[in-house]
Amino acid sequence: MRETIDVLVPTCNRPAALAVTLAALAFQTWPALRIVIADQSDGDGAYAHAEVQAVLRYLRASGRQVETWRNLPRRGMAQQRAFLLEQAQSHYCLFVDDDVLLEPDLVARLHAVIEAEGCGFVGSALHGLSFIGQERPSQEAIEFWDGPVTPETVRPGTSAWARHHLHSAANLFHVQTRLGLGPENTRLYKVAWVGGCVLFDTACLRAAGGYDFWQALPAQHCGEDVLAQQRVMARYGGCAILPSGAYHMELPTTVTARAIDAPYVLPAE
């Protein structure tokens, strides 16, 4: 019997996109999912929208566990993620943003890698398919893990920090296409961080402090996911997979005030 994986979904004012993301979760080949959604939308919230209700009904009817929370007032994304982490009960928790498409076998592939490596997290970076054909060779450098995933310390301004360029636009998609990689020959590579779709060992994330630093930040901030991953990576290691299997809807960000960037204003430890 497969173990349950908690899927933690923060959402705000994106009911249609949330419905698409939840539908992608509904058709994952990994059946044992407990989906926890924290909604910070205006008005009646995302759960009042028919498209969200329809997918929630399907998820529950098909045997998925679903919890729907309202987390208000808004106190920033770090607090939103901290709230979701408080709800986690399983060995592994998958943070998925509310604007992500997932290939059906993605949860199973992420689980296989984190089990094999015993690291703190494994992520799937998001492809921006509107940028297909816009080649950026200077941003397509990739460092594969040729041995076990081990702890790394990554700081802003270091050479490892520049790895994040690989996850811009369709850079990663161009790399995996050229390499001809498929799900049957998944490869692991080194990251600065991964946005949008990350499977954590829940105990490792909590031991590294989770998102408890939210109280040290103003409500308007960004980079909370980056800082949490870097703290986990320094202790337990982290990586991403290729092929990714995750796609960005490329919607306008709901985090518009970005002057306070967590990894630049808070210590990495």
**Domain limits at 75?**
5-265
Q: Average per-residue pLDDT in the chain?
A: 96
For 7-38, letters b (16+ CB in 10 Å) and e give bbbbbbebbebbbbbbbbbbebebebbbbbbb
Please check the confidence at residue 1 and state whether its pLDDT lies above 70: no
Q: Residue 103's domain is classified under what CATH number?
A: 3.90.550.10
Report whether 212 contacts 82 (CB < 8 A). Answer: yes
CA-nearest of 258, 202, 250, 259 to 228 is 202
- pLDDT of 258 reads 76
For the entire predicted model, the pTM comes to 0.97
Number of structural domains, the chain? 1
Span 219-269, pLDDT tens digits: 999 999 999 999 999 999 999 999 999 999 999 888 777 789 999 999 887
